[in-house]
Structure 1
């Protein structure tokens, strides 16, 4: 299937980015959300190419300063200003946003189509969101976008270790934040704020346990209960104290601990069976969550068992 949204290479090529890795999620109605990293340390000075015109926005987190940035919309320069690292900028793809590339750059771009914003409003029982509030070239000090962006940069660089639940959670959270902060979204007072019913929680945990690798999209689990991704994630967190991707990570570690009590099972097999991408991924996550490496943990268990015997 041909790519439709403005992310990955469709975004990277007009911006002269040699590589443009991306991660993708989908809403309950299959609207695509995406994040793309773009970077070029030695660009050829020129006006960036036109991006495909869509009823969609790009929300960009800049990682480095870009002084005297010449910003264009609809075929003309609209402002020349200093772009600041750490700030967030918005672009309307209906306005043909472009800029003069004449300095090194490094940015994240979140792709948010109108259909995804409509989904958020519908799920919240709120009126349809109008145009997002922004001015070309004017940045926002947005801590939420900075924090989400920092987490997703790591995920982009370790794509083989990143589970889909994490990507879904982050991109849906970003969409909801943009809808509220720049689109004026106000949730209905009728929005349900409780946790999942016991049967729903049991079923959700069963679905997560059945796919420790985390490849099942969050929207698929939410659809099991006829809930939006946003509502399901919030209710799951209320019920368990953790968002789904964090709950799954803990479940992987517990599964690995059970498997490591089998003396002859290699750690590489433990990692695979517990849903980790590889042994290195397993070691890094286990050590961070448990405080010791898998090998040290298993030696400790064996020592305790031998002393009891």
Structure 2
């Protein structure tokens, strides 16, 4: 087995330490075959080939080799202006722990070490929805779990999931899921 070492040149990706391959052992790689086929017309008429196209195909070949045979994986970075991973975990933890009665954003922001205004913006940037909307979605998820228990009335489910009453549960559930909680429960029985 031979190893090829190269320095980091791709942004947002860790360096490729080793490129492992067995000399003389062939690999039928459909991606490289397809990319190579797309280059054939350009190689047949080099004077008419678009250099930008050739560069992009060769870049694609290099990235494919690095990812498939070199173990390169893009490094994830938090969205600019979003919550740090620990802040996201803590915020979700607090919101879930207070799903029945809610929690003031001021408390969640304080636990994350940021202002309320920045927290709201960063939460939306990170999760794609406002904190209140995320909490409602979590209440619907919890209500689906509770609806599996035939011993609980719809009113009980609403109370245990933080909805003000059964009609509030029904209105939000129908808007989110597309059917009423009662209809959703009946489909579980079938």
TM superposition score category, shorter chain reference: 0.5 to 0.7
Matched residue, 1:296:
183
Shift of the alpha carbon at 1:265? Answer: 1.3
Matched residue, 1:204:
91
Does the Cα contact within 8 Å between 2:158 and 2:169 map onto a contact in 1?
yes
Deviations 1:73-120 (A, max 9, x none): xxxxxxxxxxxxxxxxxxxxxxxxxxxxxxxxxxxxxxxxxxxxxxxx
Deviations 1:267-295 (A, max 9, x none): 11110001101111111111111110000
Matched residue, 1:252:
139
Alignment of 1:33-182 (within 5 A): none
Is 1:194 aligned to residue 90 of structure 2?
A: no
Matched residue, 1:228:
115
Shift of the alpha carbon at 1:194? Answer: 2.1
Is 1:280 aligned to residue 157 of structure 2?
A: no
Structure number with the higher strand fraction is 1
Matched residue, 2:7:
none
Pick one of 224, 243, 246 that aligns with 2:130: 243
Matched residue, 1:267:
154
Name which one, 1 or 2, has greater alpha-carbon Rg: 2
For the aligned residue pairs, the C-alpha RMSD in angstroms reads: 1.5
Provide the secondary structure at the position in 2 that maps to 1:276: coil
Matched residue, 1:213:
100
Does the Cα contact within 8 Å between 2:88 and 2:123 map onto a contact in 1?
yes
Deviations 1:223-250 (A, max 9, x none): 1122111111111111111110000000
Cα distance between partner residues in 1 of 2:150 and 2:102? 29
Does the Cα contact within 8 Å between 1:208 and 1:214 map onto a contact in 2?
no
Structure number with the higher helix fraction is 2
Cα distance between partner residues in 1 of 2:135 and 2:101? 7
Gaps of 5+ in 1: 1-191, 304-309
Deviating beyond 2 angstroms after TM superposition, the runs of 4 or more aligned structure 1 residues are none
- TM-score, length-scaled by structure 2: 0.56
Shift of the alpha carbon at 1:213? Answer: 3.5
Cα distance between partner residues in 2 of 1:249 and 1:193? 25
Does the Cα contact within 8 Å between 1:261 and 1:298 map onto a contact in 2?
yes
